[in-house]
Amino acid sequence: MGLIYAEQVDFMSLESMQETHEREIKILNDIDKLAIDHQLDKTDPAQLIAKIEEYIVHVKEHFASEERLMRKYNFPSYDMHKTAHDMFLADLDYATSQWRRSANIEKITNFVRKTPEWIVLHVNTVDTPTSNYLVKMIEKESISG
Ligand SMILES: [Fe+2]
Ligand SMILES: [Fe+2]
């Protein structure tokens, strides 16, 4: 069982975006599994905490790399896509600070468990057209040298 499956999100025409999405799905499922283990036997949450820290870094780099590519190739809907990322990051930051302040790890694991719905929608409606645009621009660039 997993929280989210790679098949739920569209396959990206741009390989780097596809790899990033697969990596994120893997981290989310790892967090879900570690959180279940922690709830069941109340073991030391060190592994879970390390995975959550990895997730936070990953998400920021995920969004930043898409934004770099969009700027490089003048993606027309950059502002809309960037705003969607920023809104998600604001929610992530809020959940992170709630967790750090209360030392209640569920503040962040509950947030993480709710993210697949957002990710599936974002990837399929926003990342897909972005990826298709970027691939076209990169191809054009390689033809014209
Ligand atoms: Fe993405
Ligand atoms: Fe995105």
- Distance CA(11)–CA(68), nearest Å, equals 20
118 domain-assigned: yes
* Ligand (nearest to CA of 18): 1
Domain with residue 122: its CATH number is 1.20.120.50
Q: With beta carbons less than 8 A apart as the criterion, state whether 29 and 2 touch.
A: yes
Domain total in the chain: 1
The answer to whether position 123 is within a domain reads: yes
Q: 78 burial class (0-12, 13-18, 19+ CB within 10 angstroms)?
A: middle
Report the first-to-last Cα separation within the chain, whole angstroms. 47
- Is 2 among the domain residues? no
Please report, in tens digits, the pLDDT of each residue of the chain (145 residues total).
578 999 999 999 999 999 999 999 999 999 999 999 998 987 789 999 999 999 999 999 999 999 999 999 999 999 999 999 999 999 999 999 999 999 999 999 999 999 999 999 999 999 999 999 999 999 999 988 6
Q: Could you tell me the residue range of the domain that residue 22 belongs to?
A: 14-144
CA 21–ligand 2 middle distance (angstroms): 10
* Residue 121 located in a structural domain: yes
Residue 140 lies in a domain: yes
d(CA 98, CA 81): 26
Task: Collapse the DSSP code of 2 into the 3-class scheme (helix H, G, I; strand E, B; otherwise coil) and give the result.
Answer: coil
C-alpha 94 to ligand 1 mean position (Å)? 21
- Residue 87 in any domain: the answer is yes
